[in-house]
Amino acid sequence: MKHGPVAARPRVGVVKFASCDGCQLTLLDLEDELLSVVEHFDIIDFPEATSARSPGPYDILFVEGSVSEPAHLERIVELRRRSRFLVTIGACATAGGIQALRNWGDHDAFRASVYANPEFIHSLATSTPIAEHVPVDAELRGCPIDPDQLVELLTALNTGRRPQLRDEAVCMECKRRGVVCVMVSGGIPCLGQVTQTGCGAICPRFGRGCYGCFGPRERANAAGLSRHLQLAGDRPREEVGRLFAGFTAYSEPFRSMVTELGGARQAGRESGVEAAPTGGSDARH
Amino acid sequence: MHGTETRKGADERLYEVGELTRVEGEGSLRLRVRDGKVTEARLGIFETPRYFEQIVVGRTPDEVIDIVARICGICPVAYQMSAVHAFEDLFGVAIDPAVRALRRLLYCGEWIESHALHIYLLHAPDFLGYESAIAMAADHRQTVAKALLMKKAGNHLIKIIGGRPIHPVSVRVGGFSRVPRRRELEEHRPALAEGLELAKETVRFAASLAMPAFAREPRVVSLRHPGEYPYNDGRIVSSDGIDLAPSGWRDAFEEFQVEESNALHARARDGKGVYLLGPAARVVLASEQLHPVARELLAGTGMAETIRTNIYASIVARAVELVHAYAEALDIIDGYRPPAEPAVAWTSRPGVAAWATEAPRGLLFHRYEVDERGRIASAQIVPPTAQNQAAIERDLVVAAPNVLDLPHAEATIRLEQMIRSYDPCISCATHFLDLRIEEAG
Amino acid sequence: MVMASPARGPRARPEGPAFLGRADLQALLDLLREDGRTLIGPTLDAGAIVYDEITGVEDLPRGWADEQGPGRYRIHDRQDDRLFGYVVGPTSWKKWTFPSLVPLTSATRDGHKVGFEPVPLDPPRLAFLGVRACELAALGVQDRVLTAGPFVDPDYAARRANVLVVAVQCTTAATTCFCTSMGTGPEVESGHDLALTELDGGFLVDAGSPAGRAILERLPLRPATAVEQYGAAATVAAVRAGIGDPVPAAGLHDRLLAQLDSPRWLEIAERCILCGNCTLACPTCFCTSTTQATDLSGTTAMMSRTWDSCFSPGFAKVAGGSFRSRHRDRYRQWLTHKFATWWDQFGESGCTGCGRCVTWCPVGIDVREELNAIAPARPPAAETALVEPAAPSPTEFVTAHVTGTKAETGDTVTLTLESDHPALGRGGPGQFAMVELPGFPPLPISISRYLPGGLELTIRGAGAATRALGKLQAKDEIGLRGPLGSSWPLDRAIGRDLVIVTGGIGLAPLRPLIQAIIAERRRYGDVRLYYGARTPADLLYRGELERWKSASIEVALTVDRAGPEWLGPVGVVTNLFDQATWDGSGMVAFVCGPERMMQATVSTLAGRGIPASRIYVTLERHMECGIGLCGHCQMGKYFICRDGPVFSMAQLGDIFGREGI
């Protein structure tokens, strides 16, 4: 992180690659802080919100979305050149997103499955995070990102300090808030132990297991968790694999778990599964 | 790059915007007029496909609910609702009435957030001559602050029920993973009551805006329900006689490939013409079910007929629905008693799960084939913007004569303003794999 | 037994233990609230019994009990009316005495100048209802850490001083409790203002402080009867007996600190997710960090204190990196601090035996098991304790009769045996039986299959006794003692790929392992069997080998000497896999055969990346009794019959293959 504030009133751009828009929307959803943000930051390019356009150069560029088609490859390099400080926001930009599940499949088969002229489909075989293509200065994880973390990052950029983005398990946040562990008391599989916190432990607070949308944390012992879920929970490998095959599936070590256990439709083979029909009940037992 | 003028030969004009702004997603505009006749009208969509209909294959219904929310950051609830009702219909799950009410309440939250966002942040700048709401705030700070307040009330409502406003986490087949306590909703009631007053002002504000001239006879489609304004349930009806169960979209409509373009459009099978979805369609077809407060305001504007024929007036329809959503939310909260269980147990059945609900932008249809293991075998998702695309291009043609006399830059802005009247959600429209990507120029 | 403290001065109360009727409990709660205290007590939430604000008896979890185990917590109906019929849940009292987020200081920065304004202390007046003995001890531990040293935490001190403690005697225990071992319970003895013991119909009441006595004087009490006193004493004694003494706490400090290089830390690291749940559920853990919340301009900031954990990645970080980045080091830090170095710092154990870290570890790591494994009070026992063997005494044997015989090879026979003794058919794969034919010396023979009501033994005729066994026919009887010894730890292999390497008769003790794998095939990954014999005719269980292949077991065979009909590999068994492409780092290996063959195999497997803690061998020594009393089978610190015959290479270390050990 560079020392000192980025600029007096930094020139900010917000751009989009392959994504749903939710992370940019989080900026517009700052509501109470939005008008204050635009006083401290000069938003020069944000197509979703303003018709005023600018090709840069940017002091800070927020990038949402994954690299997913040929035109993106050049575009991200060009944008990196024109940005002093590049921040990726959201699971698509930081991990490739849910659409990265196609990376395990046969891309040509996907394209050709419906379309008579697949050559008109301009997409790459893979959906990849921005950091696989250009150096990234900071990232905000999440699907979508957390508004408090966004404000924290903006504050840090404005004041020249390091943003306080904790890299610890969601479990810590659950315990601080007094949320009862859904895995221990409900037998519900939860990725929170291997997922980076930042969301405020939403899913366990709402009675369901974490699905890892903030991505794997440092030293995530996904293999240990996987063994435990199979052993104590008596779950088939493929079910545990599907748990990891979510919004940040392409980040390690989730990626290796999906490859090893199944869970994303892999090229050439059906996810081989046992027969019992799915069902569900959220009633506590 | 904004609106370019290119004169080629006698009287040919090209109105082009390489990257539309203040719309959700990535689209372009291209209108070519030669000797007063339109030779090309194109809403180009150059979003990258993300292959959602393929990604959900092999997953379970609850996983699908989480995944399809990511088709859109502005309307994730709509995707979750269409999916969950489709599965519950196939599996024969009877949800608790309190759960049904909570789902409507969740949808109210999304309509409030989406409509407030669109009216003030995306569309109003066009009417008032600003390039953005941020620029508008310099002169109209109070207005923008109030818009943000309204949007916040809608977002917070989704947060109470779903955990977070974008990609909520608690929707499950059979109900919710957690339901709010009465107290949590009651604590939010004052903000919603304040929002209702601001929404009423919004109707007056929208009705006072100068509407560009525009007229056509539209064919409109939406859900309609005898007892409520259409959100999760109702029959699919049109202004000219279509009447289907919410699962029966394919009986009257289909997706097809436009020749010389690889964009998928949707059309009615009867070939009777392009159709329009969204707030204007709902206000035309279902105004009887509007909350009395909203119905009264609509009547007060005297603009019911304008809403029907002038697409620019959709902002008024949206404002009326904003009032409705607040009013209905307050009613639901006042009558809320938490269900005995947040969700009921269910077992999957093989077959076809299909359902349509009303996203803020219009009818959203989902169809899933479920196999014996309870996994998705195939998926079809038809968002409102994909269905409106043909209508947008038709309206570009209708709008052309009205802009020919204007200075070029202003004409282009007027055309963009028309496209924005549809509140297009382009990320939604391009989630499936077989869409042609058009690069402008 | 809770005894009333001796009275001081005039008292209108009965002498001796007092009794509060059940209907009068609300009166106590009302009294506390009238004194301006907010009541915190147990209540139901989200499928657990947690501590939260309550107003009356109706908020208590009447008729609920809990059931706890490593990584597991459930509540269920007790079918009675008890208000306190459970033990501790996920929340501890530190939520109020040491909250997870406390604003400390507001700071400002204006040009050159800075300013600091401590947040004023304004702790609420609270009453804790339902504090257990282990929790009283935990409050005492944090008192010592946070207020008894040279620097005092003012926020903690202020909050603590504003708490009135109403303790509740445990009348039941969870399987995770170990207060007995830590010397903190189950008896409530001190640290309380009031203590209640729940009986049918009401509570024995005791005051532990002047404040408590003052409250007692305002309650409608009567003397407790002898029956009531006896009943309470008996209940508490039963709780103590039920818990037993799970952790060898005496001398634990020294034993633990002598094991900083134990291979067990690495084994734990494979399971531990570093999630931090144990530290945040623990009522004595006190590590925190400060966070800064600023406005966008950064000129005003609020510094707050928040719970942190030694498991967090940033916990030990400095400019150059982290002092404690390895997985195993973080778990070691926590365990050694809690159970050893806490003594050096604070003169007592940091653990009070409440068991929360066991229950709320999502992957079920049990500190008691780990302490017993790393720093046991006695030499290590067999890795897996199984069913009580039949005839576990030097003088006894049970009889079994032959129901079938099969000649496997020229000199090897499999006997199928049935017996009335149920234990014989219910052992683990890799165990052995002592076999006795009167007149011949007793022999240890690996059990090559388990059956309902019996077992199979595969016996190679190498001497007079084994040849005699090989000649037995149906209806002949023999004597057996067993199943004995340790077995192949199959649960270590769940979710992993396996390698099984064996030669000659060594396949016999591995056959029940393979059968157990096939019975639940999908729980294991790739399974590869490498099996060598002297000649093709010496291969055992040839028909079954084909069935194993069709159960997705990869089978590779080799022989030392081939005949014309043999088309497979020839050579030592290690040739089959020393050039294989698999990466052993995640695998488990099971090896059985002549000792030379096992040494070569272990060395090759280690070279392929399989860690020593996951390579298992089975050893053979001269055995006479099979139950560790005759001394013949001693090897280093182990008795092969009792601590083995299955060992991991991590257990054996360099005594394996060492001459003369």
Angstroms from C332 CA to nearest CA on chain A: 16
Q: Please indicate if any CB of chain A lies within 8 Å of the CB of B412.
A: no
Rg of chain A (C-alpha set): 20
**In this complex, do A51 and B345 lie within 8 Å of one another by their Cβ atoms?**
no
Q: Which residues are paired to C126 by β-bridges? A: C38, C163
**Per-residue pLDDT tens for A135-151?**
999 999 999 999 999 99
Range of weakest confidence among A62-71, B29-38, B214-223, B274-283? B29-38
Which tokens hold the place of B239? 């202004």
Range of weakest confidence among A54-58, B46-50, C288-292, C651-655? B46-50
Kindly indicate the confidence band of residue B5, based on its pLDDT and cuts at 50, 70 and 90: low
Interatomic CA distance for residues A203 and A207, integer angstroms:
6
Q: Which residue has the tokens 């947690």?
A: C50
Angstroms from B313 CA to nearest CA on chain A: 21
Q: What is the mean pLDDT of residues C517-540?
A: 91
Residue C278: name the closest of C353, C357, C207 by CA. Answer: C357
Of C273, C296, C298, the CB nearest to A36: C296
Please determine, for residue A114, whether its predicted confidence score (pLDDT) is greater than 60.
no
Q: Please indicate if any CB of chain A lies within 8 Å of the CB of C467.
A: no
State percent of chain B over pLDDT 70.
91
Of C100, C298, C313, the CB nearest to A219: C313
Which tokens hold the place of C148? 């008894």
**Per-residue pLDDT tens for C242-282?**
998 889 888 899 999 988 888 899 999 989 999 999 999 99
Interatomic CA distance for residues C301 and C106, integer angstroms:
6
**In this complex, do B169 and A202 lie within 8 Å of one another by their Cβ atoms?**
yes
- Three-state SS annotation for C291-348: EEEECCCCCEEEEEEEECCCCCCCCCEECCEECCCCHHHHHHHHHHHHHHHHHHHHCC
Q: Please indicate if any CB of chain A lies within 8 Å of the CB of C319.
A: no
Angstroms from B314 CA to nearest CA on chain A: 19
Long-range contacts at B398-402 (CB < 8 A, ≥ 24 apart): B398/B214, B398/B215, B398/B216, B399/B214, B400/B31, B400/B33, B400/B38, B400/B41, B401/B36, B402/B212, B402/B213, B402/B214
Please determine, for residue C384, whether its predicted confidence score (pLDDT) is greater than 70.
no
Structure confidence at residue A266 (pLDDT)? 59
Kindly indicate the confidence band of residue B441, based on its pLDDT and cuts at 50, 70 and 90: very low
**In this complex, do B177 and A282 lie within 8 Å of one another by their Cβ atoms?**
yes
Q: What is the mean pLDDT of residues B52-57?
A: 90
Please determine, for residue C114, whether its predicted confidence score (pLDDT) is greater than 50.
yes
Domain boundaries, chain C: 18-99+114-243, 383-484, 490-618
Q: What is the mean pLDDT of residues A194-217?
A: 96
Q: Please indicate if any CB of chain A lies within 8 Å of the CB of B151.
A: yes
Residues 6 or more apart whose Cβ sits within 8 Å of residue C47: A180, A185, A186, A284, C74, C75
Per 3-state DSSP, chain C is made up of helix, strand and coil in percentages (nearest 5) of: 30, 25, 45
Please determine, for residue B302, whether its predicted confidence score (pLDDT) is greater than 90.
yes
Which tokens hold the place of C44? 């139901």
Nearest CA in chain A to C360: A184
Nearest CA in chain A to B347: A279
**Residue B152 identity (one-letter amino acid):** K
On chain C, the residues whose CB falls within 8 A of the CB of A196 are none
Kindly indicate the confidence band of residue C8, based on its pLDDT and cuts at 50, 70 and 90: very low
Of A19, A51, A283, the CB nearest to B2: A51
Of A34, A53, A110, the CB nearest to B51: A110
Residues 6 or more apart whose Cβ sits within 8 Å of residue B112: B150, B151, B153, B154, B157, B195, B199, B322, B325, B326, B329
Give the highest mean pLDDT range of A230-244, C36-50, C316-330, C393-407. Answer: C36-50
In 3-state terms, what secondary structure has residue C47? coil
Tell me phi and psi for residue A14, to 5 degrees. Answer: -130, 120
Q: What is the mean pLDDT of residues C347-376?
A: 94
Where is pLDDT greater, at A275 or B276?
Answer: B276
Interatomic CA distance for residues B252 and B265, integer angstroms:
14
* Fold of the CATH domain C383-484: Elongation Factor Tu (Ef-tu); domain 3 (2.40.30)
Q: What is the mean pLDDT of residues B250-258?
A: 83
pTM: 0.79
Structure confidence at residue C439 (pLDDT)? 82
**Per-residue pLDDT tens for B196-212?**
999 999 999 999 999 98
Q: Which chains touch A (3 or more CB pairs under 8 A)?
A: B, C
Please determine, for residue A4, whether its predicted confidence score (pLDDT) is greater than 70.
no
**In this complex, do A35 and B125 lie within 8 Å of one another by their Cβ atoms?**
no
**Per-residue pLDDT tens for B337-356?**
999 999 999 999 999 999 99
Interatomic CA distance for residues B52 and B381, integer angstroms:
9
Interatomic CA distance for residues C5 and B440, integer angstroms:
90
Interatomic CA distance for residues C397 and C643, integer angstroms:
21
Angstroms from B221 CA to nearest CA on chain A: 26
Of A168, A227, A237, the CB nearest to C522: A237
Structure confidence at residue B264 (pLDDT)? 64
What is the Cβ-side half-sphere exposure of residue B435, based on CA atoms within 13 angstroms? 29
Q: Report the phi/psi class of residue A160: left, alpha or beta, with left for phi > 0 and alpha for psi in -120 to 50.
A: left
**Per-residue pLDDT tens for C622-655?**
888 888 778 888 888 888 888 889 999 988 887 8
Q: Please indicate if any CB of chain A lies within 8 Å of the CB of B371.
A: no
Angstroms from B154 CA to nearest CA on chain A: 11
**Is there a contact between C388 and C481 (Cβ–Cβ < 8 Å)?**
no
**In this complex, do A184 and C359 lie within 8 Å of one another by their Cβ atoms?**
yes
Structure confidence at residue A1 (pLDDT)? 38
Kindly indicate the confidence band of residue C659, based on its pLDDT and cuts at 50, 70 and 90: confident
**Residue A259 identity (one-letter amino acid):** T
Please determine, for residue C361, whether its predicted confidence score (pLDDT) is greater than 50.
yes
Angstroms from A170 CA to nearest CA on chain B: 15
Structure confidence at residue A258 (pLDDT)? 94
Written as one string, the DSSP assignment of A215-270 is -B-TT--HHHHHHHHHHHS---HHHHHHHHSSTTTTSTTHHHHHHHH--S-BTTB-
Mean pLDDT of chain B: 88
Kindly indicate the confidence band of residue C389, based on its pLDDT and cuts at 50, 70 and 90: confident
Nearest CA in chain B to A277: B373
Q: How far out from the chain centre does Cα B263 lie? A: 20
The architecture of the domain spanning C490-618 is 3-Layer(aba) Sandwich (3.40)
Q: Which residues are paired to C288 by β-bridges? A: C307
Task: Count Cβ atoms within 10 A of the Cβ of residue B276 and give its class: 0-12 exposed, 13-18 middle, 19 or more buried.
Answer: buried
**Residue C223 identity (one-letter amino acid):** P
What is the Cβ-side half-sphere exposure of residue B161, based on CA atoms within 13 angstroms? 31
Structure confidence at residue C593 (pLDDT)? 93
Please determine, for residue A49, whether its predicted confidence score (pLDDT) is greater than 60.
yes
Structure confidence at residue B6 (pLDDT)? 54
Residue B55: name the closest of C367, A180, A265, C265 by CA. Answer: A265
Kindly indicate the confidence band of residue B389, based on its pLDDT and cuts at 50, 70 and 90: confident
β-strands B235-238, B243-244 pairing: antiparallel
Mutate to test the interface with B, among A30, A33, A48, A244 (most CBs of B within 10 A): A48
Structure confidence at residue A117 (pLDDT)? 53
Give the single-character DSSP code of C411. Answer: S
Question: Rounded to the nearest 10 degrees, what angle do helices C327-336 and C264-271 cross at?
Answer: 110
**Is there a contact between B428 and B385 (Cβ–Cβ < 8 Å)?**
yes
Structure confidence at residue C317 (pLDDT)? 67
**Residue B190 identity (one-letter amino acid):** P
Interatomic CA distance for residues B130 and B145, integer angstroms:
16
Please determine, for residue B94, whether its predicted confidence score (pLDDT) is greater than 60.
yes
Kindly indicate the confidence band of residue B432, based on its pLDDT and cuts at 50, 70 and 90: very low
**Per-residue pLDDT tens for C434-452?**
998 888 888 999 999 999 8
Q: Please indicate if any CB of chain A lies within 8 Å of the CB of C43.
A: no
State percent of chain B over pLDDT 90.
63
Q: Which residue has the tokens 């144990």?
A: C278
Residue A221: name the closest of B389, C266, C448 by CA. Answer: C266
On chain A, the residues whose CB falls within 8 A of the CB of C277 are 169, 171, 175, 181, 193
Angstroms from A111 CA to nearest CA on chain C: 33
Residue A121: name the closest of A102, A104, A138 by CA. Answer: A102
Angstroms from B230 CA to nearest CA on chain A: 25
**Per-residue pLDDT tens for C56-73?**
999 999 999 999 999 999
On chain A, the residues whose CB falls within 8 A of the CB of C586 are 223
Structure confidence at residue A281 (pLDDT)? 40
* Selected residues 469-498 of chain C with any CB under 8 Å from a CB in chain A: 491, 494-496
Q: Which chains touch B (3 or more CB pairs under 8 A)?
A: A
Number of A–B residue contacts, CB under 8 Å? 232
Other CB atoms within 10 A of residue B195 CB: 29
Of B26, B61, B177, the CB nearest to A206: B177
Helical segments of B302-421, H only: 304-309, 314-334, 384-403, 408-421
How many residues are given for chain B? Answer: 441
Question: What domains does chain A contain, in order, with CATH numbers?
Answer: 11-159 (3.40.50.700), 170-272 (no CATH)
Structure confidence at residue A140 (pLDDT)? 96
Tell me phi and psi for residue B168, to 5 degrees. Answer: -60, 160
Q: Please indicate if any CB of chain A lies within 8 Å of the CB of B48.
A: yes
Residues 6 or more apart whose Cβ sits within 8 Å of residue C598: C591, C592, C617
What is the helix (H) or strand (E) element at residue A138, kind and residue range? strand A138-140
ipTM: 0.91
Residue B235: name the closest of C58, C345, C543, B244 by CA. Answer: B244
- Please work out, in degrees rounded to the nearest 5, the angle formed at the alpha carbon of residue C642 by the alpha carbons of C641 and C648: 90
